[in-house]
Structure 1
Amino acid sequence: MATEIIRAGGCLCGDVRYSVRGDPFKSGLCHCADCRKVTGSAFLAYADWRPAQFEYSGKVQTYRGRSFCPNCGSRLFSRNERQVEIYIGTLDSVPSGIAPIDEGWIIRREPWQRPIEAASQHEKDVPPHSE
C-alpha cells in the first residue's frame, strides 16, 4: 500500500501553516498582470488541489480571493469551493517535485523567459480542468 504524499508549507514568519494531501490535479505558471503583481515577479508558479485535500492553521487575510499572512505579508494560497491554489514558492520542500502542465497568459511572458516545453501553452487563461 502506497503512502499518500503530504506536502506542507507556510509563510515567512511561520504564523500560517498549511498542508495538502495527494498530488495536485493541475499545476502551472501564470504570466497575467494580476499574478505578476501578487508575486512581484514575472510569473506565478501554482498547483491546485481539491478543498478536502487542504488544511491550514493560523490567521490569514484575504484580498480578492487570495490569502496572505497579515504579519509578514507572504502570499500563500487562493481558495474557493472547487479548488485551493497553492503558490509553489511557499512549500517547505524545495524542489517541490511539481512540474507545470500548463502555462497561461504567454502573451505577457517576458521575452527572456523560455516556454516550458512539456506544458500546454495558452495565450490567455488556462481552460478549467475536469475532475
Structure 2
Amino acid sequence: MSVEKDETRAATVHEGGCACGAFRFRATGKPIRVCICHCTTCRQVHGSAFGAYAIYARGNVMMSGSLSTWKSSDDGRRHFCPACGSVAYMEFTTRDEVDLPIGAFDETGVFEPTYELWCKHREPWLPQGARAEYDEGRPH
C-alpha cells in the first residue's frame, strides 16, 4: 500500500514483507539509492540472476515480525523469515542503512535501479549499458 499526501504534511510510505506475511516493513520517504547486485551471494540468496534493492536510512524503516539472521560477510547481515524463507532485508554494520529487496514491496514499478554492482558475475544474456555499472562494489 502506498500513501501519498501533500509533501509538506506527510512523506510517501511504501510497505512490504515476506511471502507468508509473518514479517512486514514500512519505509518512509525516498530511498537513498536503488541498485541491482550480481554478486554470488545475492544470486544464491534470491535464487535468481541478481538481487535488487531499495536502500533506506535505518531510521526510515519500521519492521514487525520475527526474523532469523545470517552473517553473510564480515560486516553483512541478511535477515530472512524463518517460516517461508523470504529475504526480508540486508544490512552492513558499517552503514546506517537497510537494503530492502524490491520484490518484497507490495507495489511494483515504484523503484528503478540507477546502478549495478558486481557486474563481473552478471549473466551474459542480461542487457548492459542501461545504468551505471561496476565490476565489483560501488565506489563510496
TM-score normalized by structure 2? 0.85
- Provide the rounded CA distance (Å) in 1 between the counterparts of 2:25 and 2:125: 33
**TM-aligned CA deviation for residue 7 of structure 1:** 0.5
- Provide the rounded CA distance (Å) in 1 between the counterparts of 2:120 and 2:129: 14
The residue number in structure 1 matching 2:137 is 125
Q: Percent identity?
A: 34
Aligned partner (choices 78, 82, 86) of residue 100 of structure 2? 86
Aligned partner (choices 25, 37, 40) of residue 44 of structure 2? 37
Q: What is the 5 A alignment of 1:19-30?
A: 19-30=26-37
Q: Deviations over 1:41-84 (max 9, x none)?
A: 00001111001101100101110110111111111101345100
Q: Which amino acid aligns with 1:72?
A: C
- Count residues in correspondence: 126
- Provide the rounded CA distance (Å) in 2 between the counterparts of 1:69 and 1:127: 31
Task: Please tell me the root mean square deviation across aligned C-alpha atoms, in Å.
Answer: 1.2
TM-score normalized by structure 1? 0.91
Structure 1: runs of 5 or more not aligned:
none
- Provide the rounded CA distance (Å) in 2 between the counterparts of 1:126 and 1:43: 16
Structure 2: runs of 5 or more not aligned:
1-5, 72-76
Q: Which amino acid aligns with 1:109?
A: R
